[in-house]
């Protein structure tokens, strides 16, 4: 997936979802039965999708896990991305560890700038630990942007829902790129949507109050071009992102010495 307007949410959904959140945060003086009644809202798929995406936008942090593979095609080498890490949604900063282009690596994303850990031989040779990526590099596209992701999810048509154990609700649906582009006026979000495959399946698991536990996106329809999943989970996890110092950064890899 290369470098991912908000559909109008029915007023009643916004009001009810807001009421449920306020009720869940009330102090102990409120009547428990009254609180329980307030948090009950229809658990149909559109309502849960609206509540889930609304709560997603309010998330302070989360874990992002990307498992993406693209086969070699027309001179392009095969590509594999299998990384996971916690993001600070408010600061747009995250640390991802795992496999990047077939090699173990760590990627830091801070304020729109990415830093990639350098191989051990380069580290030993230069004393530097990070390579500053070229301006505009977006290894994880817009998936860490909870606002843009929520807006794309809202374009799903005819989602379905099933109840699962532990007061968990499972909403399933499909995002059609053409539909998303038709519904979204925001140019930045349209750019995100246009980079998606023709269709992307999604699974959204929420609690009884519509708060997301896990969100998984699965490319569909372009299996020869891209396979894998992108998943958000562990909402509220503590991020640990430290910006490298100038003495730790390379702006380009040194040339290879030849005998």
Q: What integer best gives the mean pLDDT of the chain? A: 85
Q: What is the pLDDT at residue 190?
A: 97
pLDDT one-digit tens code per residue, 157-186: 999 999 998 889 999 999 999 999 999 999
- 12 pLDDT more than 90: no
pTM for the full model?
0.80
Tell me whether residue 109 is in a domain. no
Tell me whether residue 199 is in a domain. yes
pLDDT one-digit tens code per residue, 142-160: 999 999 999 999 999 999 9
Percentage of the chain exceeding pLDDT 90? 68
Tell me whether residue 38 is in a domain. yes
- 118 pLDDT more than 80: yes
81, β-bridge pairs: 68, 100
Tokens of 181: 């582009």
Tell me whether residue 123 is in a domain. no
d(CA 102, CA 115): 17
Query: Domain range for residue 190?
Result: 11-59+143-233
Q: How many structural domains compose the chain? A: 1
d(CA 228, CA 79): 12
d(CA 41, CA 209): 8
Tell me whether residue 77 is in a domain. no
Tell me whether residue 35 is in a domain. yes
Q: Is residue 175 a contact partner of residue 156, using CB atoms and an 8 Å limit? A: yes
Residue where the block lists tokens 């409120």? 30
Q: What is the pLDDT at residue 74?
A: 77
């Amino acid at each position: 997936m290369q470098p991912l307007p908000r559909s109008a949410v029915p007023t009643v959904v916004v009001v009810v979802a807001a009421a449920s959140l306020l009720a869940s945060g009330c102090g102990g003086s409120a009547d428990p039965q009254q609180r329980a009644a307030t948090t009950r809202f229809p658990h149909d798929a559109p309502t849960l999708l609206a509540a889930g995406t609304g709560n997603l936008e309010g998330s302070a942090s989360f874990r992002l896990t990307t498992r993406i593979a693209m086969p070699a095609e027309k001179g392009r080498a095969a590509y594999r991305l299998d990384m996971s890490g916690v993001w600070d949604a408010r600061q747009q900063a995250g640390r991802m560890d795992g496999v990047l282009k077939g090699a173990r690596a760590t990627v830091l994303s801070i304020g729109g700038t990415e830093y990639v850990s350098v191989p051990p031989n380069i580290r030993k040779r230069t004393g530097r630990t990070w390579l500053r990526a070229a301006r505009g590099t977006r290894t994880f596209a817009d998936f860490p942007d909870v606002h843009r992701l929520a807006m794309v999810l809202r374009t799903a048509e005819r989602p379905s829902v099933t109840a699962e154990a532990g007061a968990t609700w499972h909403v399933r649906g499909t995002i059609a790129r053409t539909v998303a582009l038709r519904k979204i006026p925001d140019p930045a979000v349209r750019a995100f949507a246009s980079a998606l495959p023709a269709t992307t399946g999604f699974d959204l698991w929420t609690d009884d109050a519509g708060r997301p536990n896990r969100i998984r996106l699965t490319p569909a329809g372009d299996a020869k071009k891209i396979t894998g999943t992108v998943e958000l989970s562990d909402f509220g996890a503590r991020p640990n992102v430290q910006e490298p110092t100038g003495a730790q950064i390379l702006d380009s890899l040194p040339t290879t010495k030849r005998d």
